[in-house]
Amino acid sequence: MNNNVTLIDVSGTKPREQTFWPTVVLPKAQIDAQIESLASIDRPSDGRRAAAVNHPMNTGPVPSFAPGIDVHIVVLKPGEKSEPMLRNSSFVDMCIRGTGTVASGEKTFQVEKFDVWNTPSMQPVVYSNNGNDLFVRLSYSNTPLLERLEVHYIGQMQAQMSASEDDNVLAEQQRNARNAAKPILIGTEGAQLMGYEWLVDIDTIDSKMLHWPWKEVSPHLNNVYGLDLKYTGRHLYVLYNPATERRIGTSHSFFATIAKLPPGKVDKPHRHTSAAINYIMWGHGKSVVNGERIEWQEGDLHFSAPGWSVHNHASREEGFTALTIQDHPLHIAMESLLWQETLKSPILKLGSERGVQTNLAALGG
């Protein structure tokens, strides 16, 4: 084995300047053309016709639209279904055309245009198209991050065996073992020593596949659409998954928000370390990102907020509706979510410091 480990003296080295991927838009026309192209090919062995959206600055190892977020355009033809796979990546999906059936274990639900759902890690899913049109979805995952860490697991269903009665007995014995491994207090501020049993028998949180039907979500968007233009927050709702707890996510890596901005709304320039990708569901508008002005319209996919880039968005005559995927919960878990609501505001570490306060109460919201 060739061991070429080196030591590099970094004493006094200045911090590396971060390289921001520039803002880019994938136009609706290009998305539509790709959908038709995918529909024209023979069915792949796993039943998954998909195209990955790749940012021009991405250097791999897999396609991605933001450094830690991929987006796939996935197409199922009528009568087709996909094969289930086990992955330790997690997903947030939105249907953008047609209808389909989502099935995982004992859970099955129908989805239609603008429905959103999450898929937890290691949860196999079968997608079926029982309609007459193509079933098309945008699928977002944390795969690029796992691939860069060289820990992305993809396996066949038979690799995962269901828990047997012996497994359940063993699990109970392990919990008894953890209870026997009494923590040892160190000092007076909460530091402890904990045994190995605590590392391998972590308290569990039920991570469910959840579904946000558009027909139930859309009426509530009128609440934020009708807010006064003087409102200092964002005109949106988070699609919240209780399993993410204080990280306020849709999955453990991402939040999904749906915004509905009234005409003439202009956000103040702001920045945050979480990256953001917007899918424009309705309307049109513009953004300024790191001084670059970019326009977008219904059906476009916009990489709108490269991490820590100064940016803001503005609606036009009718306003707009957009799905935003942002790796906000991941940064909260890593204690790396920096947020600056305006360029005159302090830089906050959200989740550890008191957060941003809007004027919602003063407006009677």
Say whether both 221 and 334 belong to one domain.
Answer: yes
Instruction: Give pLDDT, residue 161.
Output: 47
Residue pair 263/317 in contact by the 8 Å Cβ criterion: yes
Please, are residues 92 and 116 in contact by the beta-carbon 8 Å criterion?
yes
Average pLDDT for 86-98: 97
Residue 315 has pLDDT above 80, yes or no: yes
- Taking the model in full, what pTM does it have? 0.94
Same-domain pairing of 137 and 215: no
Query: What range defines the domain where residue 331 resides?
Result: 211-343
**Higher-confidence residue: 202 or 108?**
108
Q: Vertex 60, ends 136 and 123: CA angle to 5°?
A: 50
CB 284 within 8 A of CB 341: no
**CA-to-CA distance for 139 and 92, rounded, in angstroms?**
6
Q: Three-state SS across 164-194?
A: CHHHHHHHHHHHHHHHHCCCEECCCCCCEEC
Cβ neighbours of residue 65 under 8 Å, at least 6 residues apart?
53, 54, 55, 58, 71, 277, 301, 303
- Single residue among 139, 155, 171 that ends a domain in this structure: 155
Measured distance CA(213)–CA(231) in Å, rounded: 27
Q: Which of residues 109, 138, 155 is at a domain's end?
A: 155
Instruction: Decide if pLDDT at 45 tops 50.
Output: yes
**What's the longest Cα–Cα distance across the chain?**
69
Residues 41 and 126 in one domain: yes
